[in-house]
Amino acid sequence: MKVFLTGADGFIGSHLAEHLVRSGHEVQALAIYNSQGSWGWLDTLPADIKKELNVVLGDIRDPYHMNQLVAGQDAVMHLAALIAIPFSYVAPDMYVQTNVQGTLNLLNAARTHGVDRFIHTSTSEVYGTAQYVPMDEGHMLQGQSPYSASKIGADQMVRSFYSSFELPTLTIRPFNTYGPRQSARAVIPTIISQLAAGKKSINLGALTPTRDFTYVTDTARGFEKALHTTTGFGEVTNLGVGFEVTIGQTFDIINEIMGAGAVATEDPNRIRPKNSEVERLFSDNTKAKTVLDWQPEIVGIEGFRVGLEKTIEWFSKPENLAHYRPDEYTV
């Protein structure tokens, strides 16, 4: 298929771009416009993959440009978003402009050009703290941060275009994806990059919340499966392992694998406001198995360890660690 992939320069987006090319799709990959002409993580992909990509620079907040780029595409896979939760406390307007208005711009373009499907990226953060587990797609939505509120708005806008205009939409809701190339604002890269830099006291946020971590290649496979499904239109589908582990336990596993002998410290600057912290995330992935014919390959505590070992191996290479600043905390 001819696929317009937004957010291709990011963590999940770059893995998905690579997976789509290897799966035989024709990919027009959108990277955020910048004066350096950087393609983000796409710059690090193998040469044989990069030569197959049509990389364009732009910004989803521009409706005219998005309309031009969607023309002639079979599918839109929309991953572009502002995702850092701490920065959403600082700049909530920017999150609405990018995550809600940007999504609307793409929906309008997709409707204008009659794309075969619009695949939208949600996030498990929209559920907020679990009211029951495992968390299925019927779980209530709770905007516990400006980021999650903006994603709820985007999700509902996507749903409205299916209901109002019969645009064939699918919303994929990943739980916490991890792996090579992830932003240091996420907890696993935060731990690994600090340990790889030789630190013995690792600054983290709250250690007690649980997360359902999904390895990035599993997430990418789930998105690609959405290009082929014949059901689930107008609906949300979770992508999660169905497994939970605390942040403290995650630190312990990484610390042990790396043989670092470090300790975790709760840094007040990294603690979310009390009512904004999502205390528990634990997915029900039953629907993904039926709608997408997808299930994760890296599962359970042993699978999590394997995924962490792969991630640590990548971060431990000097050329990769050089992309990170373990001595600094950026919201």
Task: Give pLDDT, residue 184.
Answer: 85
Residue 330 pLDDT greater than 80, yes or no: no
Q: What is the largest CA-CA distance in the chain?
A: 57
Residue 331 pLDDT greater than 80, yes or no: no
Q: What distance in Å separates the CA atoms of residue 264 and residue 257, rounded to the nearest whole number?
A: 15
Task: Produce one character per residue of 283-318: b if its CB has 16 or more CB atoms within 10 Å, e if not.
Answer: bbbebbeebbebbbebbeeebbeebbebbbebbeee
For 9-47, what is each residue's pLDDT tens digit? 999 999 999 999 999 999 999 999 999 999 999 999 999
**pLDDT, greater one: 294 or 330:** 294
- pLDDT band of 290, cuts 50, 70, 90: very high
Task: Give pLDDT, residue 326.
Answer: 86
Average pLDDT, the chain: 97
- CB-based contact 257:309 (threshold 8 Å): yes
CATH code, residues 2-177+215-241+281-298: 3.40.50.720
| Structure-token pair, residue 137 | 């797609």
Q: What distance in Å separates the CA atoms of residue 267 and residue 265, rounded to the nearest whole number?
A: 6
Task: Give pLDDT, residue 327.
Answer: 81
CATH architecture of the domain covering 187-209+244-279+302-321 = Alpha-Beta Complex (3.90)
Task: Give pLDDT, residue 130.
Answer: 98
Task: Give pLDDT, residue 185.
Answer: 85
Residues 308, 311, 312, 318, Cα dihedral to 10°: 180
Q: What distance in Å separates the CA atoms of residue 231 and residue 226, rounded to the nearest whole number?
A: 9
What is the pTM (predicted TM-score) of this model? 0.97
Least confident of 43-52, 264-273, 306-315: 264-273
Which DSSP letter does residue 280 get?
B
- pLDDT band of 242, cuts 50, 70, 90: very high
- CB-based contact 288:295 (threshold 8 Å): yes
For 89-141, what is each residue's pLDDT tens digit? 999 999 999 999 999 999 999 999 999 999 999 999 999 999 999 999 999 99
Task: Give pLDDT, residue 317.
Answer: 94
Determine the average pLDDT of the residues in 283-304.
98
CA nearest to 155, candidates 73, 99, 203 = 99
Q: What distance in Å separates the CA atoms of residue 23 and residue 1, rounded to the nearest whole number?
A: 10
Task: Give pLDDT, residue 74.
Answer: 98
Task: Produce one character per residue of 95-121: b if its CB has 16 or more CB atoms within 10 Å, e if not.
Answer: bbebbbbbbbbbbbbbbebebebbbbb
- CB-based contact 123:153 (threshold 8 Å): no
- The boundaries of every CATH 3.40.50.720 domain in the chain are 2-177+215-241+281-298
- The boundaries of every CATH 3.90.25.10 domain in the chain are 187-209+244-279+302-321
Task: Give pLDDT, residue 328.
Answer: 81
Task: Give pLDDT, residue 155.
Answer: 98
Q: To the nearest whole percent, how much of the chain has pLDDT over 70? A: 100
How far lies 69's CA from each of 3, 124, 204, 257, in Å? 11, 29, 40, 44
Residue with tokens 């971590």: 213
For 185-236, what is each residue's pLDDT tens digit? 899 999 999 999 999 999 999 999 999 999 999 999 999 999 999 999 999 9
Task: Give pLDDT, residue 183.
Answer: 92
Residue 300 pLDDT greater than 90, yes or no: yes
**DSSP secondary structure letters along 157-184:** HHHHHHHHH---EEEEEE-EEESTT--T
Q: To the nearest whole percent, how much of the chain has pLDDT over 90? A: 97
Cβ count near 242 (within 10 Å): 21
